Amino acid sequence: MKKFKVVVTDWEFEDLRYEEAILDHDDIELVRANCQSEEDVIDVCKDADGIINQYAPIGRKVIEKLDKCKVITRYGVGINTIDSEEATKKGICVANVPDYCIDEVSDHALALLLNWSRQITCAHQNVKNKKWDFKLTKPIYRLKGKILGLVGFGKIPRALAEKVKPLGLRVIAYDPYYPEDKAAEDGVSLVSLDQLCKESDFISIHAPLTEQTQGLMSKNEFGTMKKTAVIINTARGPVIDEEALIDALSSGEIAGAALDVIENEPIDHDHRLLLLENVILTPHMAWYSEESEMEMRSKAALGVKEVLLHNQYPRYLVNMEVKNKLGLNESENEDSYALLSK
């Protein structure tokens, strides 16, 4: 029997030890690639049975050339690198890892909120510059009683909501897909985006990047926000209209921003956000801990293994419509996934 060819299109890790451990099987050949363009992906993946993807583009042009591929898994939550609609037409399963960094991202969003609220970065820099003067951080306001608005109310923002409640924040959320009664059980009021912008002292972005959410936070939303409001983004950069954000920050229309993601990464050295003192930036690291990295990589590999070796749908199948084309079994590896989540 010919071995299944599994290609890792690209990665930013030191090695592939977790993937190798999951896919260590006589019937699997693991191919390590360094793809940057669609042409690179086509060249190495045209005869692949399974693909694990990070940033390399897998659009329609690529998928049309995948003659043997049964499954594409992506490191992380978003699948914006993959044309899942085209994959469905071709009968290819697309899977992600939606639950590997719930604590990490919610912790990071909370850290950015607290950092801004207490002006930690500003104070630290002042002291390093030999300026021992609390007045340089003014104004600072009491956190208790403030309102946190969550754009999106999936697993990560729900975790964040629980973490901020002991601090005395009231939480509201905008999510047109989340049931109001379930939000009420969580002690959170669902509101319109306009109302959220008007009422919130802090707005934390947790929406996935889609055609509907690209540029969701733009000139109109910033114009509606309080002048003392701060926007936090640990989701995807393009959910915020960056030019509109810079204008709002520069003019004092809003107080500040704390961003782990931007429209185009990595940030250019002459980017205007770097010139603004009312911005805190981190390098797309909210997802990361040693544990979450291991979990993400292992689960991405396990999704490929389920399809190729067990004839099962990956547990985290995204394009459910593909079930109309394939006759695989449902995933039976709940224990394996549960162990990886600990």
Cβ neighbours of residue 63 closer than 8 Å, sequence gap 6 or more? 69, 83, 86, 87, 90, 92
pLDDT score of 1: 60
Q: CATH 3.40.50.720 occupies which residues in the chain?
A: 4-100+289-341, 102-281
Check residue 279 and report its DSSP letter: E
pLDDT score of 177: 95
Alpha helices in the chain (DSSP H): 17-22, 38-45, 60-63, 84-90, 102-118, 120-128, 155-164, 180-185, 193-199, 219-224, 242-251, 290-310, 334-341
Q: Cα separation of 7 and 51, whole Å?
A: 5
Catalytic, out of 158, 236, 297, 315: 236
145: alpha, beta or left, given left = phi > 0 and alpha = psi -120 to 50? left
Does 334 participate in catalysis according to the annotation? no
Catalytic, out of 25, 32, 60, 284: 284
First to last CA, the chain: 36
Single-letter residue type at 277: E
pTM: 0.92
Catalytic, out of 85, 265, 321, 332: 265
Q: Cα separation of 69 and 186, whole Å?
A: 41
pLDDT score of 334: 78
229: alpha, beta or left, given left = phi > 0 and alpha = psi -120 to 50? beta
Q: Taking each helix axis as running N to C, give the angle between helix 120-128 and helix 102-118, from 0 to 180 degrees, rounded to the nearest 10.
A: 60
Q: Cα separation of 54 and 325, whole Å?
A: 26
Q: Cα separation of 272 and 276, whole Å?
A: 7
Does 310 participate in catalysis according to the annotation? no
Q: Cα separation of 245 and 52, whole Å?
A: 34
Q: How many residues does the chain have?
A: 342
Rounded alpha-carbon distances, angstroms, from residue 274 to 68, 99, 271: 46, 32, 6
Q: Is the peptide bond before 266 cis (omega within 30 degrees of 0)?
A: yes
CATH class of the domain whose range is 4-100+289-341: alpha beta
For every residue of 59-96, DSSP letters joined together read -HHHHTT-SS--EEEESSS--TTB-HHHHHHHT-EEE-
Strand partners, 233: 205, 259
Instruction: Note whether 199 and 192 are within 8 A (CB).
Output: no
pLDDT score of 199: 98
Instruction: Note whether 248 and 273 are within 8 A (CB).
Output: no
Please work out, in degrees rounded to the nearest 5, the angle formed at the alpha carbon of residue 286 by the alpha carbons of 158 and 136. Answer: 100
Does 265 participate in catalysis according to the annotation? yes
Q: Which fold has domain 102-281?
A: Rossmann fold (3.40.50)
Which residues of the chain fall short of a pLDDT of 50? none
Q: Which strands, in side-by-side order, build the sheet including 28-32?
A: 28-32, 4-8, 50-53, 71-74, 93-95
Phi and psi of 58, rounded to 5°? Answer: -125, 75
Instruction: Note whether 174 and 149 are within 8 A (CB).
Output: yes
